[in-house]
Structure 1
Amino acid sequence: MANLAVRLTPGASSDRMDGWDVDAEGRPVLKVRVRARPVEGEANEALIKLLAKALRVPKSAVVLQRGGQSRTKMIDIAGLSNDEMRTRLTGL
């Protein structure tokens, strides 16, 4: 199972991944923007959908572990190793 830290920006003009950044503690974080607003979990659902499509896994394989109300989220991806996940995201 792969673990992915995401910095989510809701209310963007388009759904897209803006590449990698580093958080305050030096950990890699994927910057993602979604059109959905942070209302009733809509932005989180849009994030899961975007990640599943980009990683070519079913939506059920992408699980929000932490950060449901935060901009920084921890995502688990079933069926992929951390290396496989990074390889698939690097090609985008």
Structure 2
Amino acid sequence: MNWYCLDSNSHLVLKLHVQPGARRTEAVGLHGGELKIKLDSPPVDGKANDQLLKFLAKRFAVPLKQVVLKRGAQSRHKIVEIHHTACAPEILLTDLRAH
């Protein structure tokens, strides 16, 4: 399976490997079939999850309520669903091209 797909409701589903506590928030590349995203928030009290959802909402130009953590709240391996976005998942890879 790719690191993203469309589900039966046409929602974008992302498979992510998240690394909290980094120097900055950015997508850094593929990691074992998932897209690796570094977050500059610590993994304390859900702060990293909150930052991840805000980062994805901004990147996909959707309200925060349309970005849903489906699986992995306590794990580095997460499944996130994005509702009603017109952006392609490759928008996350623009971080990689900037370096």
TM-score bucket of the superposed structures, by smaller chain: 0.7 to 0.9
Secondary structure at 1:40's aligned position in 2?
coil
Q: TM-score, normalization: structure 1?
A: 0.82
2:25 to 10, 15, 22: 15
Between the aligned partners of 2:18 and 2:28, the Cα distance in structure 1 is 10
TM-score, length-scaled by structure 2: 0.76
Q: What is the SS of the residue equivalent to 2:88?
A: helix
Equivalent position of 1:86 in the other structure? 89
Distance 1:52 1:37 in 2: 19
12, 36, 55: which one pairs with 1:2? Answer: 12
Q: Give yes or no for the alignment of 1:54 onto 2:59.
A: yes
Give the ranges of 4+ consecutive aligned residues of structure 1 lying more than 4 Å apart after TM superposition. none
Asked whether the equivalents of residues 61 and 85 of structure 2 are also in contact (C-alpha less than 8 Å), the reply is: no
Query: What is the number of equivalent residue pairs in this alignment?
Result: 85
Q: CA RMSD in A?
A: 1.6
Structure ranking higher on relative contact order (CA contacts 8 Å, 6+ apart)? 1
Q: What secondary structure does 2:55 align onto?
A: helix
Q: Which residue of 2 aligns with 1:33?
A: 38
Gapped runs of 5+ residues in structure 1? none
Amino acid across the alignment from 2:47: E
Give how far 1:80 is off. Answer: 3.3
